[in-house]
Structure 1
Amino acid sequence: MKSQQSLYELLETKADEFNRPAFIENDPICIPHTYHKQQDIEISGLIAAVLAWGQRKTIIRKCQEFFTLMDHAPHDFILHHQEQDLKPFVDFKHRTFNATDALYFIEFLHHYYQQYDSLEEAFAQVICPDDIDVEKGLIHFHQLFFSLADYPARTRKHIATPARNSACKRLNMYLRWMVRKDDKGVDFGLWHKIKPSQLICPCDLHVDRVARRLGLIRRKQTDWSTAVELTQNLRLFDSYDPVRYDFALFGLGIEERMS
């Protein structure tokens, strides 16, 4: 295990190396970066995060396919689509995400954006300033997402919740995109009711493997408690913005895989 000082220096160096615009092109975050309207960024970011499973090139291609079906105007489509506009989604599929899931996401977002201007409220309305993290917000979003009477049971696997001890890696990544704000140009920083210090580090395979090697995770399994453990250890190096080290851990994982 590295000393605290050498680990801090490694994390700082790699976070700075990967948290820059060059990171965007080959990452699913490139999808919301194609939009400028806040609601378009929120919607495309949520879908891109949910579909972030498998090879990044395939994820990006499937996301582009999804939003082509919306004429690259997600918010307008969500609010104003007609029944016939949904027919092309019957053929959409990515891994285990299929037409049933796609159509329910559209239905939920239509219902939601008729009441709210931003998806931030779906997470932030139950989070207090003194909450240590976003656990309550993730649980609330899951409950809200499946509050429509006709939700398909199969879609539940695509929206994780800490209530089931899931690491919630995709939703934590989405929150990183929406909440973190710095001068690097990668994350959007559109939402202000959730503090960067409350974010939980996304625990994908690369991050998990590297974090264990660096002694930042000791739990054997990967679940919500593991993501919390990792984030608590990252707070020792930056209590205000611990999740910026996601860039470092992810980047180190990619470098290891390529070596």
Structure 2
Amino acid sequence: MVTQISAPLTGTNVPENVRIPLIGLGTWPMTGTECTESAATALEAGYRHLDTAENYGNEDAVGRAVVGSGLRRDEVFVTSKVNRQWHGPVDSVRAGLEAALERAGLEYFDLYLVHWPNPDQGRYVQACESLAELTGTGLIRSWGVSNFTPGHLQQVLEAGLVPAVNQIHCQPVFAQPPVQEANAAAGVLTAAYTPLGRGGELLQQPAITQIASRLGRTPAQVVLRWHVQQGRIALPKSADPQRQRENLDVFSFELTAEDLAAVDALDSATPPDTFLDADEFGH
């Protein structure tokens, strides 16, 4: 079984002892039995981080895997996310959080994120204030944001708040350096969803396959190593037990500076078709 590597989380009201595993299982769009079984095989393989959300419709399935794993609750890091309908004062956000915990059958989430800023509502800063207030109540251990641009993040920082994490669409061909740089400047960890792209085209890039061939690794392992070696959390989704094990096995080798630069060079700065603009999209 692969041993995970984790990173400390900081942020407003986040306790010093909270650490997040750098590889987590992405679960969207899996639901029901498929999701529970996939999360269960991931935990058996050594994953200790599962990523879910209210809008994924699978908090219940992820929770069943955690409860049924035989692991102590404090051995599994569970991330979930709150939807726009709950944005607002602490009572509103708490209602959404408690409903999510009930669906999951869990007493707390390790990390709870504002899923999208939804700037049309104008309540994402207030939602962050509420999450910061709820941290340490026993319902969430840490809080953060997702899909926040540097502009959205700046509004939160100006309110005197620092999220622990900003989870964003991030892959070699669209790495969003301005967002990563804003996160780093604020002391916010970047978590990458869609870390391997979609459709498999990324993993056929010669810059990646050549490194993989030289190291005796899969292209996916090379890309995931590129993420974690640069300090990002990566959330690859897979329901296949063999691929899950491969995706987790990225802590026993390193990429050279030249390797990292070769993968960095794939960034076209052109959003892929699957990218959603947080100023226009949200839920």
Higher strand share: 2
TM-score above 0.5: no
Per the normalisation by structure 1, the TM-score is: 0.30
TM-score by length of 2: 0.28
